[in-house]
């Protein structure tokens, strides 16, 4: 993916009353403004716990569930669609979560300018836009050299975990991640489902349409 090409389309999603209220009242406490300077994780979260980054959390349901089950870990979510941010903020408030922060900006710029090398315990990329038409493949997120940057941001022993319900994108991503320096696949090909990742409504809809869910789990070599 050329860095000048966006891997998403900013859709003018309609916010519900609850999402809008959550965004307006909670964003100042949980959203971090984009700046072209490295982010101090300990200052952002108020502790030294390990940080996992999620790119494109959608409505944030899985994000909140994982954060609730792992209070000793911090989760930094990147999303550009405001209704989803509002929904995740609603979940944060209603579940009393304190270990989630959000950046409303393009993931490529955030990773390149705000995230230090060798600083992340993990990277989650769940059901990214597959851009199924061949002429749009250049917009896919999981492509070198972007995957090289993902590897650079991981601590030794940390992981990148991608899930897609488009078989073609799974094959594509497996090839791109396998060719990324510093990443090792502990599986012979696609990964087994990770027991701690919750199944979402979006995923169930894909399965109902007979989509093949493919999981990729790569570890940063130390």
| Active site residues per annotation | 129
Which H or E run contains 122?
strand 120-126
Please, is 2 exposed, middle or buried when counting C-beta atoms within 10 Å of its C-beta (0-12, 13-18, 19+)?
exposed
Which H or E run contains 144?
none
Distance, in Å, from the CA atom of 11 to the CA atom of 121, rounded to the nearest integer, reads 31
Nearest to 64 by CA among 30, 23, 17, 99: 99
């Amino acid at each position: 993916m050329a860095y000048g090409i966006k891997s998403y389309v900013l859709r003018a999603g309609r916010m519900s009353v609850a999402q809008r209220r959550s965004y307006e009242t909670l964003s100042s406490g949980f959203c971090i403004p984009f700046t072209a300077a490295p982010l101090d994780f300990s200052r952002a979260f108020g502790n030294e716990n390990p940080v996992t980054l999620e790119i494109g959390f959608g409505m944030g349901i899985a994000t909140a569930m994982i954060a609730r089950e792992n209070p000793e870990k911090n989760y930094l979510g990147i999303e550009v669609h405001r209704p989803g941010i509002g929904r995740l903020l609603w979940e944060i408030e209603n579940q009393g979560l304190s270990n989630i922060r959000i950046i409303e900006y393009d993931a490529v710029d955030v990773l390149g300018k705000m995230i230090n090398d060798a600083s992340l315990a993990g990277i989650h990329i769940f059901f990214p836009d597959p851009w199924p038409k061949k002429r749009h493949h250049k917009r896919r997120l999981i492509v070198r050299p972007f995957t090289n940057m993902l590897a650079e941001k991981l601590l030794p022993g940390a992981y990148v975990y991608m899930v897609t319900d488009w078989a073609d994108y799974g094959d594509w991503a497996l090839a791109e991640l396998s060719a990324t320096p510093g990443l090792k696949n502990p599986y012979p090909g696609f990964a087994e489902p990770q027991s701690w990742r919750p199944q979402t409504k979006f995923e169930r809809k894909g399965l109902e349409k007979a989509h093949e869910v493919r999981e990729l789990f790569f570890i940063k070599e130390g």
